[in-house]
Amino acid sequence: MDRSIMSTAVYPGSFDPITLGHLNVIRRAAAIFDELLVCVMINSGKEPLFSHEERVELIRRTVVRFPNVKVEASQELLVEYMKVRGAKVIIKGLRAVSDFDREFQIALVNRKLDPNIETLLMPSSEKYTYLSSTVVKEMAAYGADLNTFVPQEIIEDVLKRLKV
């Protein structure tokens, strides 16, 4: 398929830590767009387990198999980050109806800030609908097997951080 304009999408999130659900969305979005930027953002409502830099490194280790995926961190407003990079599409994963309500509202705000930006809401694969970074941290704290929660490449990092 020949495209005259390179399509770039941004998948923003806190990714603290990245889960298999996040990785599933990355794989699917990377198959649609020429370039996918995974952007580690600040979530003021959460106390992070890993620093910005650590999260970028953890994600880079898990997405190395996707040549069109780049990982960055940003503390700026998402629409400003996107303008600088020429991106027009925001990717957001949805696990449940409650995610839709929040993400729909944020999509409208982003469109108000920049009418050229679209948000693509990707429903989670059914096997990841229960999965969140919060669940991962809780399960890890109790010593649960993390193989079905996070990519193999970062299991030891999560366990070490939680001193399990």
Q: What is the pLDDT of residue 28?
A: 97
Choose the catalytic residue: 27, 60, 95, 161.
95
Q: Residue 50 and residue 160: Cα distance in Å, rounded?
A: 11
Q: How far apart are CA 129 and CA 72, in angstroms?
A: 25
The verdict on whether 98 is a catalytic residue reads no
Q: Please tell me which residue in 14, 22, 92, 124 is annotated as part of the active site.
A: 22
Per-domain residue ranges for the chain? Answer: 8-162
Dump pLDDT digits (tens) for 21-70.
Answer: 999 999 999 999 999 999 999 877 778 899 999 999 999 999 999 999 99
The pLDDT-based confidence of 145 (bands split at 50, 70, 90) is very high
Compute the average pLDDT of residues 111-137. 93
Superfamily for the 8-162 domain: HUPs (3.40.50.620)
- Sequence-distant (≥ 6) Cβ neighbours of residue 82 within 8 angstroms: 10, 88, 90, 114, 117
22 is an active site residue: yes
Q: Write the pLDDT tens digit of every residue in 64-93.
A: 999 999 999 999 999 999 999 999 999 999
In sequence order, what are the residues at sequence separation of 6 or more whose Cβ sits closer than 8 angstroms to the Cβ of residue 24?
93, 124, 125, 128
Q: How far apart are CA 131 and CA 67, in angstroms?
A: 26
- The answer to whether residue 52 is catalytic is no
Q: Give the active site residue among 14, 74, 124, 133.
A: 133
* Structure token digits, residue 45: 């409502």
Query: Is 95 one of the catalytic residues?
Result: yes
User: Cα–Cα–Cα angle for 13, 20, 17, nearest 5°?
Assistant: 45
